[in-house]
Amino acid sequence: MNMQTQQDTYHRIAKYYERALGKRLAPLRGNIRTFIHYKGHRRILDLCCGTGKQLQMLAAPGMKLWGLDSSRAMLAQAERRPDISYILGDASSIPFREKSFDAVILTLALHEKPLEQQQKILRQAWDCLRPGGHLILADFCRVPSTVRGWIMAKAVLPAIERFAGHEHFANYSSWMKSGALESVIDGFSTRKNLISSHFSGTVAVCSLENEAYDKNVFLSLNKPIG
């Protein structure tokens, strides 16, 4: 779909996004920042970057940062800085060459996309990684076994996702039924690590290392996830 005609589903909430969720997402974003700085990564792409807050947290001397998002309204909220480049675009068709980045970030974005688009985004993200780079995924997990986690996963999160709209909720429901983030992670035949867990275990941050640039890592994603 043409970016100029695509409906911006975030146009009503963009101004309030950080006010509503910024403090709650701060620990998650902080752990991503810590991981990237620990690994010594310098060239970073944040796909579906939203308001750009994660990139602002990563900004430091020597860092080269890019953010891409399909929402003009969300990008309008991003702080303009000389060390961050923002691009309006589709995460399933990104305008970068292969092996361009040390790390690619996808935070709470895959669950709101249909399966086919999820797989396109993952392939695009992986193609952008240099050998030794990391794909960092943060998204909803399978329902935790704890009481607090079960309540969060079964009551709180569905109510929030339903508020985001019918299509968004349908994609979220499909994501959970297909095995959530764990199924995506299992689809990669590469080194993977849990960075941190959040929101009573309903959201995880994981890293996938591009040990040797190998597109065969996606052989298991040729079929539906789950």
Task: Name the average pLDDT for the chain.
Answer: 89
pLDDT at position 79: 87
215 pLDDT exceeds 60?
A: no
Separation of first and last alpha carbons in the chain: 27
* Residue whose tokens read 């750009």: 52
DSSP 169-183: HHHHHHHHHTTHHHH
Residues 210, 176: contact at Cβ < 8 Å?
no
What is the token pair recorded at 41?
Answer: 């990564």
Residues 183, 226: contact at Cβ < 8 Å?
yes
Residues 35, 136: contact at Cβ < 8 Å?
yes
Domain 14-221 top-level CATH class: alpha beta
194 pLDDT exceeds 80?
A: yes
Between CA 112 and CA 23 the distance in angstroms is 21
| pLDDT band for position 55 (cuts 50, 70, 90) | very high
Between CA 186 and CA 160 the distance in angstroms is 27
Q: What is the pLDDT of residues 8-38, one digit of tens each?
A: 777 777 888 888 889 999 999 999 999 999 9
Between CA 174 and CA 185 the distance in angstroms is 16
What is the token pair recorded at 197?
Answer: 């867990």
What is the token pair recorded at 47?
Answer: 């796909």
Q: How far is CA 158 from the centre of its chain?
A: 19
Q: Which residues pair with 188 in a beta bridge?
A: none
What is the token pair recorded at 108?
Answer: 């709470």
* Residue whose tokens read 């006010």: 19
pLDDT at position 3: 44
CA angle, 36 then 90 then 27, to 5°: 30
225 pLDDT exceeds 80?
A: no
pLDDT at position 219: 43
What are the residue boundaries of the structural domains of the chain, listed by start? 14-221
**Strand, coil or helix: what is 116?**
helix
pLDDT at position 137: 98
Nearest-CA neighbor of 44 among 34, 30, 58, 27?
Answer: 58
Between CA 56 and CA 80 the distance in angstroms is 9
